Structures are given as structure tokens and as C-alpha cells.
Amino acid sequence: MTYQTIRGFRDILPPQSDAFSFIEKISREIFTLYGYREIRIPAVEYFELFIKSTGETTDIVQKEMYRFKDASGRDLALRPEGTPGVARAYINNNLSQTGLNGKYFYIADMFRAERPQAGRYRQFEQIGAENIGASSPYSDAESAAMLAEIFKRLGAENLRLEINSLGCPSCRPKYREKLISYLSSQKDLCSSCLQRLEKNPLRVLDCKIDGPKLTDFPSIELCGDCAVHHEKFKKCLSLSKVDFFENPKLVRGLDYYQRTVFELKTSSLGAQDAVAGGGRYDGLIKDMGGPASPAVGWALGADRAAMIIEKRWGEFEKKSNVFLVSADKERGDYCFSLAQFLRSENISCDFSDFSLSFKSQMRSADKSGALFAAIAGEDEEKNGEVSLKNLFSKEQKKVKKEELTEIIKRSL
Ligand code: ATP
Ligand code: MG
């Protein structure tokens, strides 16, 4: 028998894994530009945390959680998203008292037991940013613009930033009522939507199952403060030269959002078109027992981000600069020492097996994509030299070990 990965889980191999590293690197650079610092949170939390924060009526909590009891009977879950853990950490560690900003980013795997399909996995990576303690619309715009900047630097094309405002506890209840009465008049709502209708009518707009086309749904009437907030948010996106589209149907799948929500969508991934989503969650930290702390944040899906830059994967393929080849079996120690010497000079190199034939080693050298083969036989060793062959121009010459670094570095 052979072992297989579990359905929905997968191995990420080069050069795709290099694409992930690239996305993480670009993200870290942008986070630094924007004053965010890294937070690392546990992969396992009490299940309760996610009911309280992600929300009891969300798809994530109702259908997608990896929930389990550990040996001592505690009710635990693998994290399905990052915000609950960051919010918990913010409260537990009294981060509101540090005198520093509350800007944190994380790069972490998430787990959701959803139906696997293209672009949808049961373990996937999210890169997320939270700005806790920030109430102004400048922070919303800063957060969304930072997200847009990451994708711009990734060279991703055909992206669309959609935004909406969900209002606040003062304007949302009226909208809720209007929405419930509108939705109640709709036929053919799916069975989850019928259940959600009273508890969480906004979520019905987010239903992914084919139902009635909800085109003439009522839109929210924002209260004065929310309207001002939303206008300023849009103005600052424009000041950041970030294009956006207002989508009154955008509600996001989580309970904690208020006012600003946004989603970054791509036209190149078919049904799984969301590459990132976020918004403002002013009530969450207080609801969880912390100090009243307005906040705004987002998470991007690294797996989908990697897919939309698939054209670039070839650029990430890492090749050694030099491939060591021994002309005969006795030259192993000499070649091995040369390899370690080159590495100490920051020149990447590789070799196959010095006991193999010269021909076979040269075949590996050609395949490796290295610029040079460094070949050593008895004469070379005696004279402290190596035959350096440019594997592209096929030019070959003997060089002294002392000159090797200089010559190679000049050609790179
Ligand atoms: P979707 O509508 O695709 O289910 P979502 O609203 O559940 O997305 P969020 O919880 O907002 O997604 O997570 C943010 C990002 O994480 C998404 O935009 C997406 O890129 C990514 N993501 C979410 N679920 C998965 C998954 N199962 N596999 C891969 N990426 C995912
Ligand atoms: Mg989802």
C-alpha cells in the first residue's frame, strides 16, 4: 500500500512553493512600509472562540470547522481564519496598553472542511493584516490600499476591488427589517437561507447556491456618521490611486463586520474569484471581553494569489550557479572541498555523485541549468586549479582556485 494525501490537502512543490515564498516576501515588505509587525498565533484554539467571533450562523462555524476533543475532553478547533486568534491575543496580552499602534500581520495556514475543488482547499494559507484601535476612515483606506499594493507588486492583473458599507448598530437594524420583508417575499430561497433569514438576513445576499436572482433588493440607508465615513474611505482610496467598484450586495461571510467591507476579485480563477477580503470590525474586541477597540483588517488567500501569478512561476525556479564534476572517482574530496569553498563565497553550487562516470555527471550538470560546470581531474587538483566550462557558450578554460570566485561573480 502507498500513502496518499487526505482529500482537500496537498503537497506544494517547486516552483509553486517558490511562488508562495515570493508572495510572502512581497507582503512582508509592504507590511513594513505600512508599519505592521508580525504576530504568530496558535493553530488550535477553543471552539468557543470561533462561535463568539467568526459567528454562530456563519458557514465557517456551521459547516467548515475542524472541531475535535483532545485527550482531556476540551472542545477545540483548528483555526479557520486569523482574526479571532489575533483579537484574542490582543486582549490576553493587553496590547492596547503598549503605547504602540495595533497593527499586526500574520502568515498562517487555515483549515476549513469545505468541499474541495479548484482553488478551494482544506488547508490553505492566509496572509492577513489587522489594525486594532483605529477608527478613522483613513485606516480603512490605508488597509485596502495596502492590499491593492501587494497585488500590484506581485504583477497580478485583472483584479477588481469591490467595496460596500454595512452600516453600524444605529443604521443596520432598519435595513435588517427592510431586508427581511423583501427576502420573505422571495420564492425559492435555499434551505440554509430560509434558516438565515431571521437570524442573519444579510448573509442571504452572500448565498453561493443558485436561488432567485436577488437583483431588486433594498440597499442600505446609512446614518450620517456612516455616510461620512464611507465617503472619506472612497476619497482616500482615490487619493491612493486605487480603483474600486461599489457593490451593494457585498456583505462578506463573517458576523463581525460593520461599515466598510471590501473584497478583491479576479477574473482569472473561475468560480473561486475572491483572492482577498476584509473590512471594519469595530465591535469585536469589546464583544470578546476586551477594551472597546475599533479595528479594520483583511486576509488574502495565498493559494489563489499563487494561481493568479502562475505565468511568473518560471522566474522563481532556483538554479545553482556552478555544478561540480569530478573527472574521475579519486577527485571526490577535492571537488567537495571546492563546493564548500564556493558556498562560503556565496556562490550557489551543486553536484550529483562524484563516484559516477564523468559523462553522467556532465548530463546532470547540463540538466541543472547551472551557468558553469567546474570540472576537476588529477592535473587540476595537482595545480590547485579547476576547468570552468560555461554550459551555455560551451567555452572552457583552466582557472586557479584563487581566481574562481572573481571570474564566476563577473559572469553572473
Ligand atoms: P469564498 O467566498 O471563496 O469561500 P471566503 O469569504 O470564505 O471566500 P475569507 O474567509 O474572507 O474567504 O478568506 C479570505 C481569502 O482566503 C479568500 O478571499 C480566499 O482567497 C481565501 N480562501 C478562503 N477559503 C479558502 C479555501 N478553502 N481554499 C483556498 N483559499 C481560501
Ligand atoms: Mg468560504
Instruction: Write the burial class of residue 247 (CB in 10 Å: 0-12 exposed, 13-18 middle, 19+ buried).
Output: middle
* Alpha carbons 329 and 311: distance in angstroms, whole number: 42
The answer to whether residues 368 and 304 belong to one domain is: no
Residue closest by Cα to atom 1 of ligand 1:
274
Looking at the structure, tell me whether residues 82 and 157 fall in a common domain. Answer: yes
Q: What is the pLDDT of residue 57?
A: 83
Cα distance between residue 249 and residue 285, in whole Å: 26
The residue among 295, 313, 331 that closes a domain is: 313
Segments in 34-169 forming alpha helices (H): 47-53, 59-63, 83-92, 137-154
- Quick one: cell of 161? 476591488
Q: Could you tell me if residue 281 is inside a domain?
A: yes
CATH of the domain at 326: 3.40.50.800
Same domain, 268 and 329: no
Protein residue closest via CA to atom 2 of ligand 1: 274
State in Å: Cα 204 to ligand 1 middle.
18
Same domain (yes/no): 256, 335: no
Residue 89: partners with Cβ closer than 8 Å, 6 or more residues away: 39, 41, 95
- As a whole number of angstroms, the distance between CA 297 and CA 301 comes to 14
Does residue 22 lie in a domain region? yes
Pocket test for ligand 1, best of 208, 255, 300, 309 (most atoms within 8 A of CB): 300
Shared domain check, 135 and 278: yes
Ligand 1 binding pocket includes 112 (Cβ within 6 Å): yes
Number of H helices, E strands in the chain: 16, 16
In angstroms, the CA 106 to CA 38 distance is 6
What is the 60 CA–ligand 1 centroid distance (Å)?
A: 10
- Could you tell me if 276 and 340 lie in one domain? no
Which of 284, 313, 342 is the last residue in one of the domains? Answer: 313
User: What span, in angstroms and rounded, lies between the C-alpha atoms of 24 and 32?
Assistant: 12
pTM of the shown model: 0.93
| Residue-range definition of the domain harbouring residue 126 | 16-171+220-313
| Coil, strand or helix at 106 | strand
Q: Is 277 in the pocket of ligand 1 (CB under 6 A)?
A: yes
What sections of 64-199 are H helices per DSSP?
A: 83-92, 137-154, 172-184, 191-199
Phi (first) and psi of residue 388, to 5 degrees: -100, 115
Confirm or reject: Cβ of 305 under 6 Å from ligand 1: no
Look at residue 193 and tell me if it is in a domain: no
Cβ of residue 83 lying under 6 Å from some atom of ligand 1:
no
Which CATH number goes with the domain that contains 20?
3.30.930.10
111 C-alpha vs ligand 2 centroid, how far in Å?
11
Q: Which atom of ligand 1 is nearest to the CA of 275?
A: 20
Ligand nearest to the CA of 112: 1
Does residue 305 sit in the same domain as residue 329? no
Beta-bridge partner residues of 300: 127, 276
Residues 273 and 402 occupy one common structural domain? no
CA of 136 to the centre of ligand 1 (A): 26
Count of structural domains within the chain = 2
- Say which ligand is closest to the CA of 84: 1
Q: What is the rounded CA–CA span in Å between residue 236 and residue 245?
A: 14
Residue indicated by cell numbers 497593527: 103
Place of cell 494559507: 125
Number of the ligand 1 atom closest to the C-alpha atom of 253: 6
Distance 59 CA to ligand 2 centre (A): 7
pLDDT for the residue numbered 193: 84
Give how far Cα 400 sits from Cα of 87, 351, 368, 391, Å: 60, 20, 24, 19
Asked if residue 295 lies in contact with residue 281, where contact means CB atoms within 8 angstroms, the answer is yes
Which atom of ligand 1 is nearest to 305's Cα? 20
- Single residue among 265, 284, 313 that ends a domain in this structure: 313
What pLDDT does residue 210 have? 66
Residues pairing with 46 in the sheet: 76
In this structure, are 165 and 276 located in the same domain?
yes
140 and 41 part of one domain: yes
For atom 7 of ligand 1, the residue with the nearest CA is 253
Q: Considering the domain boundaries, does residue 200 fall inside one?
A: no
Please tell me the distance between residue 58's alpha carbon and the centre of ligand 2 in angstroms: 9
Query: Does residue 149 fall inside a structural domain?
Result: yes
Tens digit of pLDDT at every position of the chain (412 positions): 799 999 999 999 999 999 999 999 999 999 999 999 999 999 999 999 999 999 988 889 999 999 999 999 999 999 999 999 999 999 999 999 999 999 999 999 999 999 999 999 999 999 999 999 999 999 999 999 999 999 999 999 899 999 999 999 999 889 888 888 888 888 888 888 888 888 888 888 887 776 677 778 888 999 999 999 999 999 999 999 999 999 998 988 777 899 999 999 999 888 889 999 999 999 999 999 999 999 999 999 999 999 999 999 999 888 899 999 999 999 999 999 999 999 999 999 999 999 999 999 999 999 999 999 999 999 999 999 999 999 999 999 999 999 999 999 998 8
Is the CB–ligand 1 distance for residue 278 below 6 Å? no
Question: CA Rg, the chain, in Å?
Answer: 28
> Atom of ligand 1 at shortest distance to CA of 122?
27
Query: 299 CB under 6 A from ligand 1?
Result: yes
Return the ligand 1 atom nearest residue 264 CA: 18
SS3 annotation, 225-285: HHHHHHHHHHHHHHHCCCCCEECCCCCCCCCCCEEEEEEEEECCCCCCCEEEEEEECCCHH
Cell match 486594532: residue?
A: 132
Cα 89 from Cα 409, distance rounded (Å): 47
Of 318, 320, 322, 319, nearest to 401 (Cα)? 322
Q: Yes or no: say if 272 and 117 are a contact pair by the CB < 8 Å rule.
A: yes
Q: Are residues 74 and 152 in the same domain?
A: yes
Same domain flag for 365 and 379: yes
